[in-house]
């Protein structure tokens, strides 16, 4: 297929090379022509603008730093919409705002161009190995059309839902990863300052329920079903354990703002009579605040 690829940075560069190696005809553009040297040596064509790259292509792909960059490249005077033909497909691989991509989707739709949001996860190493997770939002038929190209950059390509769904899925993933990192920082600084070697802590966490992935797997097994009555680990015990951890943190003067916030939620759960239910029932406190239930068949 004829692919236009715009944005040859740390992620985009390797992805474009993998699409080229998969046998597609690739036209590339970047603010820095030197970023395209490996692609041009491999047989790619150069475009002087996103508009020119789009004019040559059936599928146009972008990998850009921020929503404002996506908007400029998609909608600018020399942008994708100015060059793309009816029947083509625009795939944004960036971590983007769902509101921005939905607006672009609506504008492009009027010109007969499909838009898919398809952010990726797996880092630079995953981009080089073509082992990325790819989360796709938009029309499912359009997704099926471009799926062979996406398979060239990732081995975990998933259709998530309508326009914006891929962007939302990526933000959910990154929020969990970033905030979990902060919680791990709190816990490890507490543990080390209280006298345990980092390597020993890592072994303990790796061997425990968290390290075995039990908490993520709990979502479909317990949360999605609302099955909180069977207490695998009661909320009252979770509150006791977290209270012990924050007590150690106070003893050794380790700030633990996230743990303290979670502790307050667990106390609220106890006051609400949830102490004998599974600790995951604390999830319902956030559901109440958000005005939504996270349930699935």
Active site residues: 170
Distance between terminal CA atoms of the chain? 38
| CA dist., res. 84 & res. 51, Å (int) | 7
Q: Which two tokens stand for residue 96?
A: 């983007």
User: In a 3-state reduction of DSSP, which class is residue 53?
Assistant: helix
CA distance 85 to 83: 7
Gap between the Cα atoms of 4 and 275, Å rounded: 56
From CA 262, how far away is CA 93, in angstroms rounded? 34
**Dist CA 251 CA 28 (whole Å):** 58
Q: Which two tokens stand for residue 122?
A: 């797996």
DSSP of 213-240: THHHHHIIIIITTT--SS-SSBHHHHHH
Report the alpha-carbon distance of residue 48 to residue 31 in Å, rounded.
Answer: 9
Contacts of 148 (CB under 8 A, 6+ apart): 1
Q: How many beta carbons lie within 10 A of that of residue 10, not counting itself?
A: 11
Q: What is the DSSP letter of 282?
A: G
């Amino acid at each position: 297929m004829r692919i236009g690829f715009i944005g040859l940075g740390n992620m985009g560069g390797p992805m474009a090379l993998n699409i080229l190696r998969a046998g597609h005809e690739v036209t590339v553009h970047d603010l820095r022509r030197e970023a395209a040297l490996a692609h041009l040596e491999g047989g790619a064509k150069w475009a002087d603008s996103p508009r020119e790259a789009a004019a040559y292509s059936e599928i146009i792909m972008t990998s850009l730093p921020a929503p404002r960059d996506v908007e400029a490249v998609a909608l600018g005077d020399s942008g994708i919409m100015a060059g793309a033909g009816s029947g083509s497909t625009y795939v944004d691989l960036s971590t983007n705002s769902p509101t921005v991509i939905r607006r672009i989707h609506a504008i492009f739709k009027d010109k007969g161009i499909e838009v898919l949001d398809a952010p990726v996860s797996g880092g630079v190493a995953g981009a080089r190995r073509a082992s990325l997770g790819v989360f796709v939002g938009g029309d499912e038929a359009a997704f099926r059309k471009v799926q062979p190209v996406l398979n060239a950059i990732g081995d975990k390509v998933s259709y998530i839902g309508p326009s914006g769904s891929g962007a939302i899925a990526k933000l959910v993933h990154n929020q969990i990863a970033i905030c979990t990192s902060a919680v791990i920082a709190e816990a490890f600084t507490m543990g080390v300052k209280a006298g345990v070697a980092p390597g020993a802590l890592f072994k303990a966490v790796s061997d425990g329920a968290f390290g075995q992935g039990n908490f993520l797997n709990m979502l479909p097994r317990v949360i999605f079903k609302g099955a909180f009555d069977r207490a695998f680990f009661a909320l009252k015990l979770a509150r006791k354990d977290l209270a012990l951890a924050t007590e150690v943190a106070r003893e050794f003067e380790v700030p633990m703002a996230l743990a303290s916030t979670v502790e307050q939620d667990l106390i609220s759960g106890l006051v609400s009579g949830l102490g004998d239910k599974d600790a995951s029932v604390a999830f319902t406190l956030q559901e109440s605040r958000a005005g939504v239930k996270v349930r699935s068949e």
